[in-house]
Structure 1
Amino acid sequence: MKFSYQFSNLLGTIYRKGNLLFSPDGNCVISPVGNRISIYDLKNNKASSLPVESRFNFTTIQLSPDGNMLLAVNEEGAAYIISMISRRVVHTYMFRRPIPYMCFSPDGKHFSIAKENNVFIYKTPGNLTGEYNPFVMERVYHGACDDTTCIDWTSDSRVIAVGSKDMTVRLYSLEKLANFKTYVLGSHSDCVVACYFENQSLDMITVARNGVVVLWECSIELDDLRPYDSSQKKKKFGPGDEDEDDIDTRHAEDPTETAKEIGNDGEDDDNDDAKNKDDQDPDKLYYKRLKKYYLFDEMSDKNKRQIVLTDAAYHKSLRVLVTGFSNGAFLIHEMPDVNLIHSLSISEQEITAVSLNNTGDWIALGCSGLGQLLVWEWQSETYVMKQQSHFNNISCLRYSPDGQHIVTGGDDGKVKLWNTSSGFCFVTFTEHTGSISAVEFSRNGKFVLSASFDGTVRAFDLARYRNFRTFTSPRPVQFVCLAIDCSSEFIAAGGQDVFEIYLWSMKIGRLVEILAGHEGPVVSIAFSPALMSTTLASVSWDKTLKVWNAVDTESTNETIQLSSDGLFVTFSPDGEEIAVACLDAHILFFDTKSSVQKGSIEGRNDLGSGRSDTDLISAKKSLQAKAFTCLCYSADGKCILAGGQSKNVCIYHVQESILIKKFEITQNRSFDAVDDFINRRKMTEFGNLALVEEREDAEGGNVAIRLPGVRKGDMASRAFKPEVRVYHLQFSPTGQAWAAATTEGILIYSLDANVVFEPFQLTLGVTPETVREKLSEEKWSEALMGSIKLNEPAIIQEIIEKIDVRNVELTVRSLPHAYMVRVLKYVATMLESSHHIEFYLTWIQSILTAHGPELCGSDTTIMPILLTLQKNITRKYEDLSKICDFNKYTIKFLLNLGKIKESNKLKDELMEIDDVINDENMS
């Protein structure tokens, strides 16, 4: 078994914080998700994550106009230039300060970055500028008196507008212009949230946090801006004279004095803006305020004073302005008349990000409080996409038997189903009133079970998406573990406050048995996966492992003493071995029949240490209290996957008891307990500065102190810094991937077949050229065996697809059994992405017909292949069934429409005949 697992996708977390982007074609939404970036393809209904990981959460992202370069900055000011073609980081740069806003010029040659009260202009590396060194700075502007908040470029990329917290908008030119000077626009009484130039014009729209929209009209057109001619100036003035246009804001010592000297004073009086208009040069640039509009007048909310405008987006061609507010509402206005054309409230939480696509039809809205991301088509008033994360941690997950779906349970009491192929959540169950502690799929994949702290175990039907069974105990119990037997007839759940195991019958929906005997909380239970077996294993904090015969009325059990408190128990795929994770970081293996210990693994040193900001002991000392809390066997049962109270996930070989590979699931320093040492620069005589929360007065007032001992989620703390850990993990039934429920979300790690060259019985004379020669000589079986020996997927696919469909059965029958397992594996994998569905189904039918009995009697490696085959065939069937149903109903509609037209035509002909007969009778 290969272990070249690499990160492939992030599920369960849709949006954290930061701005949202649309791709240039308008079909994809780019969202920052923690320290990763996810791309949601709305046209193909698929979500993917870039293989890029930052050391802190991303807060600002920006895409170049051609869509080839993504600029992302995290909360510590580290900027990443990411190629969207290769999906790799090209360069990094440290600004060492938060970057609230970035913007590319429309021509793509420059990008601007707002940092504190400054604006930096950089050249875009690439063919457009001829500059391939990243972050080559061209200009710096120091005009603002407070932090800058927004930037916008004119259509010709010569002038930029910069809004700031000092309630003004300043205009700068990238190059010297003869009839332009730095200009200051006032008229606002709160922080400027957004500023926009009109299309092919210098007219502007500015939006403030208090909901005020101001429209500005410029005295000159964009085409009237003339380049500066230094020879004319020297001719007009003397060599020692100076003009105000020569003032360079990069060297201004006092920004306030410079603004007064070279720009408008920003007064609100319209008469002052057009003062002495007739006496001014007609080519002179000045602005006039046309209209001032209060958006809160459109709202019916009584608490208008507490609402603030959080973000805005403007479509320059359609002249549509979208504004989001802190009460969860957003408004769409038509400019320049500021006519309200649409309003909607999506939640009670703050809207933190608003974005428009290139056509202006779709609006992307992000809500960081709920982890919600939705795309709204405002013209038809329909959702294009609506996805929401779990409000808090994801506590458990399970793969479906075919590996096509993942079910998750969270501390928010919700059960969600995710499609592993598309990455989207397609159903959410909200019947539970407490945190979800465990979830399970039935063996046939037709229903889902969930256990909760609310004292119920619920069954959800995946055909009708409803809760059709609810199991309860005679007295209230907080269920923390759940198991279902191989026949899906019996369901067991263990209690945390009552030390008993409850057994229900799925058919009759009643309690069958109560298994008592543990003296501590029952934290984990598991049924044996062996056929016709009802063996149940349970571990508890009383340092015992009990093996039960669940169907036996006498409730017989065998007790095995453990070295420490039991935390997790699982069976091997064949049901002959039991693995137990203990509190002392040991993994113990027992024989199911004889209850004899077969081996043990000590994984404390593999867990990895980490020191929290509130820890008073070192990371080395805190490592002694860490342990594995979840285990999972691989599909063949040879290896075991282990995770727990750290950022590391380990794969061990069961028989050899050695560590094979260790995965570090995150490098995100925005989480707690990631580093082994606390930054000494943050340590003072008063304590750790990382515990001090910096907030503005307008964002919430006093800061509450964090409650002691709280690790999952502290509602008393305004700044929540969760501790990194692995809550649950599982191998995919196909063996091609494994998933982990972590603080980040659901991380999917899958095998990349192109990374490792692993030939199979390769001899000296087997090369791609000789394989193709065999194929040209129509020696199909020899060519196929040669490609399998090379074990290159591209060559195998080429050989398989060039074999004529009439020769498939003969080729399959002539292959040895050792090659058939690999042929079936590649055919099952290629079916997922190929359009030749009937061709590959012919291969599958021929293989299973000719070698079916031999494959059934082979080793355990055939089962993941068959599950992969089932998953891909099911997915193809679902895709084709939708198309076929649509075509079938369309054809029926057309046939009925034709019949109606024929009947109408026949009626018209009969009426004409009647008219002729009546005319003849009258005559």
Structure 2
Amino acid sequence: MKFAYKFSNLLGTVYRCGNLTFTPDGNSLISPVGNRITVFDLKNNKSETLPLASQYNVSCVGLSPDGNLAILVDEEGAALLVSLISKSVIHQFHFHKPVHSVRFSPNGKKFVVTKDKVAMMYHAPGKKREFNAFVLDTTYYGAYDETTCIDWTDDSKCFAVGSKDMSTWVFGAERWANLIYYALGGHKDAIVGCFFEENSLDLYTVSRDGALCMWQCDTELKGLKARAPKDQSVDQEESAKDIDEELTEEQKGKEVHGKASTKEQEGRQKVKYSCAGKYFLNKEGDFNTLTAAAYHKKIHLLVTGFASGIFHLHELPEFNLIHSLSISDQRIASIALNGTGDWIAFGCSGLGQLLVWEWQSESYVLKQQGHFNSMMSLAYSPDGQYLVTGGDDGKVKVWNTSSGFCFVTFTEHTSSISAVTFTTSGFVIFSTSLDGTVRAFDLHRYRNFRTFTSPRPTQFSCLAVDSSGEIVSAGSQDSFEVFLWSVQSGRLLDVLSGHEGPISSLHFNPVKCVLASASWDKTVRLWDMLDSWRTKETLPLNSDVLAVAFRPDGKELAVASLDGQITFWDHENAVQTGSIVGRHDLQMGRKELDKITAKQSAKGKSFTTLCYSADGQCILAGGLSKFVCIYHVKEQILVKKFEISCNLSLDAMEEYLDRRKMTEFGSIALIDEGTGDDDGVAIPLPGVKRGDMSSRSFKPEIRVTCLRFSPTGRSWAATTTEGLLIYSLDSGLVFDPFDLEIDITPSNIRKVLLQKEYTKAIVMAFRLNEKKLIQEVLETVPYNEIDVVSSSLPELYIEKMLEFLACSFEKTRHLEFYLMWTQKLLMLHGCKLKSRSERVLPTIQFLQRSVQHHFENLSKLCDWNCYNMKYILSISQQRGVKRTAELSEKDEDVQSLEDSSGDSVMEESAALP
């Protein structure tokens, strides 16, 4: 239960490759991120990465019309049938070749998969009573090159398939007498998208060179005639040329073979297409290739994206240009439109950008981008609500842990970020970079308010801030010195010298003003900040030191060295208290280009990042491996190992090389890497296009660069090659009673509750440890009895009570009731909790985070209500003033009328004799 951490979310990566898909309600967007998928809830401003993964990067996603099922296909052709309701894998299937696109029919009964030169139609899972979820119905042949895109008619009677051979094929999904297949040409480049018009067989096709062809069909959907049964067919020999009916096995399905020429069928095929128009979207020629396209049938909106990051919005069939804008300097890899056509999603794989744009109001609904290069460091805020990350791209990003979105990015650094950290207040972020600066960022005004530099240009490799937030220190990579600055004045206080190698890690003691610095010179030095920054102690080690960390209570120091050991020190007495040999627990994988085995390679590996758990009893360790290890410090044993990724698209994942990749000359990867003669000149092959000589194609290596435990103790985060992974406690699936006895049952607890023995009922409920029952007991206690019950609770259950209250704050609406419980418990038992503050601190911080979250939401709501009330009052006052002015004008008009009528009466009376 204590180590029941499960993967909960993936931050820092919003899009990698593949196609974007909106859910049927149009409120959520599904985006492939590596070998996982993330669902972005655009209405509630939340993101969630599903806890399932494929073996390779996901290349295409097909979503059922009801939004309950999704088919994920990876780069190698392995498919996962996923339930989006239970968020679990239902079935696995392998297409044996890379799949280009997957598309469900609008009625949800079938789906089409395009791979290689064929299109394969399957029965949709659950629509046919079969043991196998993927039942092949028909295989369609016709294209001479790889197929690229699919689109269905609205009634699911026909579908179109685009190909790289510059042709588009229209196939009948059922047995139609007047439409078996139809081939459309007219393009001079590969087809990027094909789209049917609403309730029609009319077709739009878009090619890579920016050409748009409009194809008009002389037959409506209702005009498709069902094919006669086999025994009533007039000419079976002629029909056998087009449909091979000999293959009647269920596994293989039927086959439809298309032909290049349609002269033989002109006499009997009534469906004909004619080109109604041709337009050109690309005005820049070869320098701007069309890479993605999407069409909304109801509002007739065509969206096209180009390699330069430009996109166009056109209204069809008039081809009126609505917008032409640029969203990036990289190619647009995928475009999707939601059901209403208001939101357009763009994915740029080059920079990992994901944008959702509302084209009518010309505003962003979502604008997210991960780190362009790998993440190097992370830090939790003191209350655990925010995470800050620094990457090789020189950006510092701040993430909200509850929503999963980045809400601010700082770009002041000009080189790779080496370390980031929060101050104890939680409103200031410090970051250090290889550009030779340490910067301080304010989260209130989102600005860089302080920059610290050294007298001589140097590259900073590590960072630490003391518990008061007054002193910031950075370690140098080239001058072997530690620099200290004052945060208030920005002045350089001192330069600590003494190390004989690059500084690898810095850490301040959380309790005392002592700085620990680790170096490659095989020593850890302790500096006393209150005693003229002198060296207090030097701890010698047997190998280069890579990481150092203090326990939360400041009484122990953990050190990771190059020989794969983690040593623990009593730094007050400079005595080593224990050590862990963790090299074998890393289980390093073998790289594709390695010429030695993984076992031999692991001998030189070690942990590069350390972090204590919130209670200080365990330590988290990671390095150049796909595993993260949790060790018990006192027992010095491995408690649990977490496999952070199973993505074989990354390097160093497999322990053994695949024998199928081995040739008589060695590994295929090694042979491809060393192609050419001794000078390294590649052998030219006929037909090969000349590419960009500066472009690099490589598999990123799996690694864990930084680990941090949440101050609340409920989660931990790791910056990896995959992104920012968050693991949280999964407390809902484990029955974990506390001091249970045979007579403690739900019925007995309810009986005690009916007798109004509230304290006893609460104690029994906590011993059974079922959340719903604890909630039922607590909410039955009258609010005027809270004071009495809180004072009579045993000391053992105070911490458990506070932890339950902190969890309940995230979901409950009874805020005042639970706040009363929290206030009474802290007021009555605060002195007792101080004696064991080290153990209770994570629970208090978790409670603070929950209360702070509600405080922020309520304050925003109150501010909004105050604004609305002021607005209503000002409008009513304006209307009142206007009304009084109108009334006064009316009174003046009436008075003038009365005066004029009185004058006329006087004149008339004077005129009478």
CA deviations 1:735-782 (Å, max 9, x no partner) are 010000110011101111123222111111001121122223332222
Counterpart code for 2:291: T
* TM-score (structure 1 length as normaliser): 0.93
Residue 744 of structure 2 is aligned to residue 766 of structure 1 = yes
Q: Report the counterpart of residue 9 of structure 1 in structure 2.
A: 9
Counterpart code for 1:575: G
Q: Report the counterpart of residue 205 of structure 2 in structure 1.
A: 206
Q: Report the counterpart of residue 680 of structure 2 in structure 1.
A: none
Q: Report the counterpart of residue 784 of structure 2 in structure 1.
A: 806
Q: Report the counterpart of residue 707 of structure 1 in structure 2.
A: none
Q: Report the counterpart of residue 175 of structure 1 in structure 2.
A: 174
Distance in 1, Cα, partners of 2:848 & 2:640? 29
Distance in 2, Cα, partners of 1:811 & 1:659? 41
Question: Do the aligned partners of 1:142 and 1:250 also contact (CA within 8 Å) in 2?
Answer: no
Question: Do the aligned partners of 2:183 and 2:260 also contact (CA within 8 Å) in 1?
Answer: no
Per-residue deviation, 1:480 = 0.3
Question: Do the aligned partners of 1:123 and 1:131 also contact (CA within 8 Å) in 2?
Answer: no
Counterpart code for 1:176: R
Aligned match for 1:790, one of 765, 768, 793:
768
Distance in 1, Cα, partners of 2:237 & 2:282? 51
Question: Do the aligned partners of 1:642 and 1:651 also contact (CA within 8 Å) in 2?
Answer: yes
Q: Secondary structure at the match of 1:820?
A: helix
Q: Report the counterpart of residue 522 of structure 2 in structure 1.
A: 543
Distance in 2, Cα, partners of 1:243 & 1:536? 85
Q: Report the counterpart of residue 628 of structure 2 in structure 1.
A: 649
Q: Secondary structure at the match of 2:159?
A: strand
Q: Report the counterpart of residue 83 of structure 1 in structure 2.
A: 83
Q: Report the counterpart of residue 733 of structure 2 in structure 1.
A: 755
Q: Report the counterpart of residue 124 of structure 2 in structure 1.
A: 124
Distance in 2, Cα, partners of 1:241 & 1:382? 60
Counterpart code for 1:850: L
Per-residue deviation, 1:371 = 0.4
Q: Report the counterpart of residue 291 of structure 1 in structure 2.
A: 277
Q: Report the counterpart of residue 242 of structure 1 in structure 2.
A: 238
Q: Report the counterpart of residue 220 of structure 2 in structure 1.
A: 221
CA deviations 1:667-722 (Å, max 9, x no partner) are 11111111111112112244432464999999973475xxxxxxxxxxx5521311
Question: Do the aligned partners of 2:138 and 2:255 also contact (CA within 8 Å) in 1?
Answer: no
Superposition pairs for residues 398-477 of structure 1, below 5 Å?
398-477=379-458
**Is the alpha carbon distance of 1:432 and 1:699 closer, same or farther for their aligned partners in structure 2, counting shifts above 3 Å?**
farther
Q: Which moved more, 1:432-441 or 1:779-788?
A: 779-788
Superposition pairs for residues 500-515 of structure 1, below 5 Å?
500-515=481-496
Per-residue deviation, 1:231 = 7.7
Distance in 1, Cα, partners of 2:263 & 2:68? 41
- The unaligned stretches of length 5 or more in structure 2 are 248-253, 676-683, 904-913
Q: Report the counterpart of residue 267 of structure 1 in structure 2.
A: none
Q: Report the counterpart of residue 622 of structure 1 in structure 2.
A: 601
Q: Secondary structure at the match of 1:861?
A: helix
Per-residue deviation, 1:792 = 1.4
Counterpart code for 1:857: S
Question: Do the aligned partners of 1:143 and 1:259 also contact (CA within 8 Å) in 2?
Answer: no
Distance in 1, Cα, partners of 2:407 & 2:433? 21
Q: Report the counterpart of residue 678 of structure 2 in structure 1.
A: none
Residue 130 of structure 2 is aligned to residue 144 of structure 1 = no
Distance in 2, Cα, partners of 1:852 & 1:534? 26
Per-residue deviation, 1:344 = 1.2
Superposition pairs for residues 47-66 of structure 1, below 5 Å?
47-66=47-66
Distance in 2, Cα, partners of 1:260 & 1:184? 8
Q: Secondary structure at the match of 2:838?
A: coil
Per-residue deviation, 1:387 = 0.3
Q: Report the counterpart of residue 164 of structure 2 in structure 1.
A: 165
CA deviations 1:808-844 (Å, max 9, x no partner) are 2222222111111101110111101222212211111
Counterpart code for 2:20: L
**Is the alpha carbon distance of 1:316 and 1:253 closer, same or farther for their aligned partners in structure 2, counting shifts above 3 Å?**
closer
Q: Report the counterpart of residue 818 of structure 1 in structure 2.
A: 796
Distance in 2, Cα, partners of 1:26 & 1:575? 51
Q: Report the counterpart of residue 616 of structure 2 in structure 1.
A: 637
Distance in 2, Cα, partners of 1:654 & 1:72? 42
Q: Secondary structure at the match of 1:902?
A: helix
Question: Do the aligned partners of 1:62 and 1:102 also contact (CA within 8 Å) in 2?
Answer: yes
Question: Do the aligned partners of 1:453 and 1:478 also contact (CA within 8 Å) in 2?
Answer: yes
Distance in 2, Cα, partners of 1:256 & 1:21? 30
Q: Report the counterpart of residue 712 of structure 1 in structure 2.
A: none
CA deviations 1:407-446 (Å, max 9, x no partner) are 0000000000000000000000000001000001001111
**Is the alpha carbon distance of 1:698 and 1:558 closer, same or farther for their aligned partners in structure 2, counting shifts above 3 Å?**
farther
Residue 352 of structure 2 is aligned to residue 371 of structure 1 = yes
Superposition pairs for residues 255-270 of structure 1, below 5 Å?
257=259, 259-260=261-262
Q: Report the counterpart of residue 743 of structure 1 in structure 2.
A: 721
Per-residue deviation, 1:259 = 4.6
Q: Secondary structure at the match of 2:171?
A: strand
Distance in 2, Cα, partners of 1:107 & 1:33? 28
Question: Do the aligned partners of 1:184 and 1:263 also contact (CA within 8 Å) in 2?
Answer: no
CA deviations 1:119-162 (Å, max 9, x no partner) are 11111121x44446311101001111111111111111111111
Superposition pairs for residues 489-508 of structure 1, below 5 Å?
489-508=470-489
Distance in 2, Cα, partners of 1:803 & 1:374? 49
Q: Report the counterpart of residue 271 of structure 1 in structure 2.
A: none
- The unaligned stretches of length 5 or more in structure 1 are 265-279, 298-302, 705-715
Distance in 1, Cα, partners of 2:494 & 2:76? 56
Distance in 2, Cα, partners of 1:528 & 1:27? 47
Per-residue deviation, 1:623 = 0.5
Superposition pairs for residues 279-318 of structure 1, below 5 Å?
284-297=270-283, 303-318=284-299
Residue 177 of structure 2 is aligned to residue 191 of structure 1 = no
Q: Secondary structure at the match of 2:534?
A: coil
**Is the alpha carbon distance of 1:727 and 1:698 closer, same or farther for their aligned partners in structure 2, counting shifts above 3 Å?**
farther
Aligned match for 1:850, one of 817, 828, 843:
828
**Is the alpha carbon distance of 1:554 and 1:819 closer, same or farther for their aligned partners in structure 2, counting shifts above 3 Å?**
closer
Q: Report the counterpart of residue 274 of structure 1 in structure 2.
A: none
**Is the alpha carbon distance of 1:241 and 1:614 closer, same or farther for their aligned partners in structure 2, counting shifts above 3 Å?**
closer
Per-residue deviation, 1:475 = 0.2
Distance in 1, Cα, partners of 2:514 & 2:265? 83
Residue 27 of structure 2 is aligned to residue 27 of structure 1 = yes
Residue 346 of structure 2 is aligned to residue 353 of structure 1 = no
Counterpart code for 2:629: C
Q: Secondary structure at the match of 2:594?
A: coil
Counterpart code for 1:199: E
Distance in 1, Cα, partners of 2:342 & 2:491? 52
Q: Report the counterpart of residue 557 of structure 2 in structure 1.
A: 578
Per-residue deviation, 1:558 = 1.5
**Is the alpha carbon distance of 1:803 and 1:130 closer, same or farther for their aligned partners in structure 2, counting shifts above 3 Å?**
farther
Aligned match for 1:607, one of 580, 586, 589:
586
Q: Report the counterpart of residue 830 of structure 1 in structure 2.
A: 808
Per-residue deviation, 1:592 = 2.0
Q: Secondary structure at the match of 1:580?
A: strand
Q: Secondary structure at the match of 1:905?
A: helix
Distance in 1, Cα, partners of 2:124 & 2:229? 28
Question: Do the aligned partners of 2:244 and 2:256 also contact (CA within 8 Å) in 1?
Answer: no
Q: Secondary structure at the match of 2:546?
A: strand
Q: Report the counterpart of residue 701 of structure 1 in structure 2.
A: 690
Residue 703 of structure 2 is aligned to residue 725 of structure 1 = yes
Q: Report the counterpart of residue 317 of structure 2 in structure 1.
A: 336
Distance in 2, Cα, partners of 1:577 & 1:405? 27
Aligned match for 2:638, one of 632, 653, 659:
659
**Is the alpha carbon distance of 1:153 and 1:245 closer, same or farther for their aligned partners in structure 2, counting shifts above 3 Å?**
farther
